[in-house]
Amino acid sequence: MVVIDVLTPIVVLIALGFVLRRSGFLPDTFFRQANALVYWFGLPALLFVEMAVAEPAFSTAARIVAVLTLVTRLCIAAGYLAGWRIGLTRPALASFVQGAFRGNLTYVGLPVVLYAMQAAGNGSPGYQSLALLAVTPIIALYTVLAVRVLLGADSSGRVSVTQQGSKLLRGVASNPLIIACVAGIQLVVKRRQARHGATVKRRQMGPCNEHRQSPGSDSLWR
CA angle, 184 as apex, 186 and 72 as ends, to 5°?
Answer: 100
Instruction: List the chain pLDDT tens, one digit each, 222 residues.
Output: 677 877 888 889 889 999 999 999 988 899 999 989 988 998 888 888 877 776 667 788 889 899 999 999 999 999 999 999 999 988 899 989 988 898 777 777 777 877 777 766 655 556 777 777 788 788 888 888 888 887 776 666 566 667 767 777 777 788 888 888 888 888 888 887 888 778 777 777 765 555 555 555 454 444
pLDDT at 119: 67
Residue 150 structural domain: 39-204
Residue 34 inside a domain? The answer is no
Query: Which among 194, 61, 65 is positioned nearest to 126, based on CA atoms?
Result: 61
In a domain, 102, yes or no: yes
Q: pLDDT value at position 157?
A: 57
Give CA–CA dist 166/51, Å, rounded.
29
Return d(Cα 157, Cα 179) in angstroms, integer: 32
Distance separating alpha carbons of residues 143 and 98, to the nearest angstrom: 10
Assess if residue 1 is contained within a domain. Answer: no
pLDDT of residue 214: 52
In angstroms, the CA 109 to CA 150 distance is 23
Is residue 107 domain-resident? yes
Look at residue 161 in the predicted model and tell me its pLDDT.
Answer: 62
Is residue 220 domain-resident?
no
Which one, of 126, 133, 109, lies nearest residue 185 by Cα?
133
217 inside domain: no
**Cα–Cα distance list, 148 to 77, 88, 144, 145, 167 (Å):** 14, 18, 6, 5, 9
Question: Is the distance from CB of 137 to CB of 65 less than 8 angstroms?
Answer: yes
Domain count, the chain: 1
Residue 99, amino acid:
G
Residue 145 resides in a domain: yes
Q: Is the pTM of this model over 0.85?
A: no
Task: Judge contact between 21 and 28, C-beta under 8 A.
Answer: yes
Runs of H (alpha helix) within 152-220:
161-173, 176-213
Question: Nearest 5°: phi and psi at 81?
Answer: -65, -45
> Rounded distance, CA 14 to CA 4, Å?
15
**pLDDT on residue 15:** 92
Q: Is residue 174 part of a domain?
A: yes
Cα(137)–Cα(145) distance, integer angstroms: 12
pLDDT given for residue 221 in this prediction: 44
